[in-house]
Amino acid sequence: MQKLVFMVNQWQQQLRNVANPQKVKILSSFFKTGKGEYGEGDIFIGIVVPDNRRIARQYRNAPIEVIRQMLYSEIHEFRASAIFALVDRYTHKKDSNARQAIVDFYLANASQCNNWDLVDLSAPYILGNHMLEHPMPLLLDKLSNDRNLWLQRIAIVATLMLIRHNRFDDTLRLSLHYLSHPHPLIHKATGWMLREIGKRDEKTLLDFLDANATKMPRTALRYAIERLTPQQRQYFLSLK
């Protein structure tokens, strides 16, 4: 137990050593930590992502309890470091049972990915990669129906890896499900995934927009049409 505590403390101290207090205010504002905002109460100490990744890489094979303790820290960058280590751990494991254990751990603790960056840095690279060989449409539907906003975002963002392999069905199904979703973070994620589909198959995107543009939240629509021609963008926006 003492060894685990020592490792957690060591990891956290390495992160504190590269923290820049001058960045705290900027990060706190960017990630909406004010009262009533989606990141309310989150604490930043001012660590840039490259430094965090470099340090986290050293802990990818740390005992899972060490990663768990980092993931449950009140400090945002400590949770991010746990995510970086977990993604790196999944990437370097080739054994299917070891990878499944990482996915199970991720899903059991996914609510700790409680800001959009933590979701976007983890969902495609752990859950999304795993779904390439182990399709889980029922799990995605369960996540998308959860009351937790971050689990809902995990569901749609995880499909990025499927999109990159020209598998669009899960994304399109969730996009339909989220047409009436009230939160801008889901609108942005949905539009982003639809735009990614359009990069690979513009017809599929246009078919979805023809059928649903009038019902889409405006933010989702704007994200989805970002790479279309000015004429196409103007047409779809005129439908709103």
Distance CA 129, CA 188 (A): 21
Q: Which residue has the tokens 């009140």?
A: 74
Which has the minimum average pLDDT: 34-38, 125-129, 202-206? 34-38
pLDDT in tens, 98-144: 999 999 999 999 999 999 999 999 999 999 999 999 999 999 999 99
Q: Which residue has the tokens 């995990």?
A: 154
**Which 8-state DSSP code applies to residue 43?**
B
The candidate with the shortest Cα–Cα distance to 117, out of 14, 5, 1, 33, is 33
**Which 8-state DSSP code applies to residue 75?**
B
Same domain as 173, residue 88: no
Distance CA 109, CA 68 (A): 8
Same domain as 199, residue 135: yes
CA–centroid distance for 188 within its chain: 12
CATH number for the domain harbouring residue 219:
1.25.10.90
Q: Indicate if the pLDDT at residue 24 is higher than 90.
A: yes
Same domain as 2, residue 106: yes
Q: How many domains does the chain have?
A: 2
Same domain as 66, residue 28: yes
* The dihedral formed by the CA atoms of 52, 13, 114 and 108, expressed in degrees to the nearest 10: 100
Same domain as 225, residue 150: yes
Residue 43 bridge partners (DSSP): 75
Same domain as 162, residue 214: yes
Alpha helical stretches, state H, 58-201: 64-71, 76-92, 96-108, 116-120, 129-131, 137-144, 149-158, 160-163, 169-177, 184-200
Instruction: Give the end of a domain, one of 55, 84, 119.
Output: 119
Residue 75 bridge partners (DSSP): 43
User: Which pLDDT score, from 0 to 100, does residue 204 have?
Assistant: 98
Residue pair 110/154 in contact by the 8 Å Cβ criterion: yes
Instruction: Give the end of a domain, one of 119, 135, 165.
Output: 119
> What is the span of the domain harbouring residue 188?
123-240
Distance CA 150, CA 153 (A): 5
Same domain as 190, residue 153: yes
Instruction: Give the end of a domain, one of 119, 147, 173.
Output: 119
Same domain as 154, residue 108: no
Q: Indicate if the pLDDT at residue 2 is higher than 90.
A: no
| pLDDT, average across residues 94-98 | 92
At a CB cut-off of 8 Å and minimum separation 6, what does 167 contact? none
Given phi > 0 = left and psi -120 to 50 = alpha, else beta, which region is 32?
Answer: left
pLDDT band, residue 88 (cuts 50/70/90): very high
Same domain as 127, residue 87: no
